[in-house]
Amino acid sequence: MQTPPDLAQTQYQQGVALYETRRYAQALACFIKAGEADAEHLDAHWNECITRLMLGDFKEGWPLHEARWQKNEGRWEPDPAKRGWRQLAQPLWVGKHSVGDVSIEGKTLCLWAEQGFGDTLQFCRYAPLVQAMGAKVFLYVREPIARLLAQSFAGTGIDVVADNQPLPPFDVHCPMMSLPLACGTDSVEKIPAPTPYIFAKNEDISRWKNRLASHAPYGLAQGQSAAQAKRIGLVWSGLMRSTNPAAAKMDAERSIDFESLAPLLNHSQQGLQGIQWVSLQKGGERPADSNVLDLTADLHDWADTAALIANLDLVISCDTAVAHLAASMGKPTWILSRYNGCWRWLDHREDSPWYPTARLFHQGAPGDWAGVVEEVVATLCSQ
């Protein structure tokens, strides 16, 4: 007879296998059983959280999302002093889920970026909602994105502090990915999506407009003028986090070999003529004769990238922070998603309630980027 920990691990492993094959409801049942069999099985609780978010069950999913703070070698960490990645002496605020006084009226609140640039771009949208509760709000973010956020929130009373600067005084704090819980986003219908909420500066946009104008589009069709051509930004690879095996696996799955994009870059095919492909891929390898314009050496921070995107007609990207940037700017954004995609895109939806201008193209089978590229080509040619 299995002991409870063995039963928990068996249920957990079954849940992982079911999740990988997109049988999310069945996976969820396994993760719940695993957590019931072993209350300290953090991975079971965490995967229950991710599965609930994937299924749009925000009411149960966001509270479980706080389990990320309790990880200590895969087990629950009961001591709050040992939790988390950033130790702050001030109280944590997560709305009605806070310990003690939940009112933030008249207080200074630090909203800090805990994870990647895409997460920061997705969840900084909540800052004005928190400000409307009566708090003085500032964002504490990684330096490469600070200028972009500062110009986007300019004039709102929301300040931005880069993480290479001292933290100003504050009363309470909240990590950005806890904001859906703190602000009561307990259903998909309650997602705040006031796009655009990220903005490039006009002078930066003009500078990049002039740069792009000096490069003629490739493969113009007969009778087609440069003014009729489209400029489309392209990203095919995510950041590779080699020191984290789980993240490295996901990074490999979400990234596309440049060679797989060949049908998309075929300027001889009718419907793909006159497109000026513009690389938004920092450090991505590609052949010199790929006909993709690469000016990324002059993209020094996310504000530069935003100004370049502002001059494009469309951005096509695998699941990366650039996709979040383009979509948060209200730019038409096509996101190429791996088979068992990220929970934030929900269960195989083609649209995104987070970003009204985003469209999702999903793999039909694990690793099938050829099918995704074929669908994108067909969609471009039909327009």
User: pLDDT band at residue 267, thresholds of 50, 70 and 90?
Assistant: confident
User: pLDDT band at residue 246, thresholds of 50, 70 and 90?
Assistant: low
Quickly count helices (H) and strands (E) in the chain.
13, 13
How far separated are the first and last CA of the chain, in Å rounded? Answer: 61
> Which residues have CB under 8 Å from 61's CB, separation 6+?
49, 50, 52, 53
- 153-186 per-position pLDDT tens digit: 999 999 999 999 999 999 999 999 999 999 999 9
Which residues of the chain form beta strands (DSSP E)?
71-72, 75-76, 108-112, 136-141, 159-162, 172-175, 230-235, 275-279, 292-293, 314-318, 333-337, 351-352, 355-362
Which residues of 35-147 form beta strands (DSSP E)?
71-72, 75-76, 108-112, 136-141
Q: Does pLDDT of 247 surpass 80?
A: no
The pLDDT of residue 346: 96
- Please compute the mean of the pLDDT values over residues 54-65 and round it to a whole number: 96
The pLDDT of residue 9: 94
- 77-121 per-position pLDDT tens digit: 445 454 444 568 898 899 998 887 778 999 999 999 988 899 999
User: pLDDT band at residue 3, thresholds of 50, 70 and 90?
Assistant: low
* Cβ atoms of 313 and 232 closer than 8 Å: yes
* Cβ atoms of 125 and 183 closer than 8 Å: no
User: pLDDT band at residue 271, thresholds of 50, 70 and 90?
Assistant: confident
With 0.85 as the threshold, say if the pTM is over it: yes
* Cβ atoms of 276 and 293 closer than 8 Å: yes
- Please compute the mean of the pLDDT values over residues 29-57 and round it to a whole number: 95
- The dihedrals phi and psi of 367, each to the nearest 5 degrees, come to 80, 0
* Residue 244 burial class via C-beta count within 10 angstroms: exposed 0-12, middle 13-18, buried 19 and up: exposed
The pLDDT of residue 97: 87
* Highest-pLDDT range among 37-46, 202-211, 214-223: 202-211
Distance, in Å, from the CA atom of 244 to the CA atom of 177, rounded to the nearest integer, reads 20
The pLDDT of residue 348: 86
- Please compute the mean of the pLDDT values over residues 11-24 and round it to a whole number: 96
Distance, in Å, from the CA atom of 174 to the CA atom of 39, rounded to the nearest integer, reads 26
**Cα dihedral 305, 378, 286, 218 in deg (nearest 10):** -80
Distance, in Å, from the CA atom of 216 to the CA atom of 225, rounded to the nearest integer, reads 10
The pLDDT of residue 287: 72
Identify the structural domains of the chain with CATH numbers, from first to last: 4-81 (1.25.40.10), 85-190 (3.40.50), 202-381 (3.40.50.2000)
DSSP character for 94?
B
Angle at 376 between CA 378 and CA 50, to 5 degrees: 140
User: pLDDT band at residue 224, thresholds of 50, 70 and 90?
Assistant: low
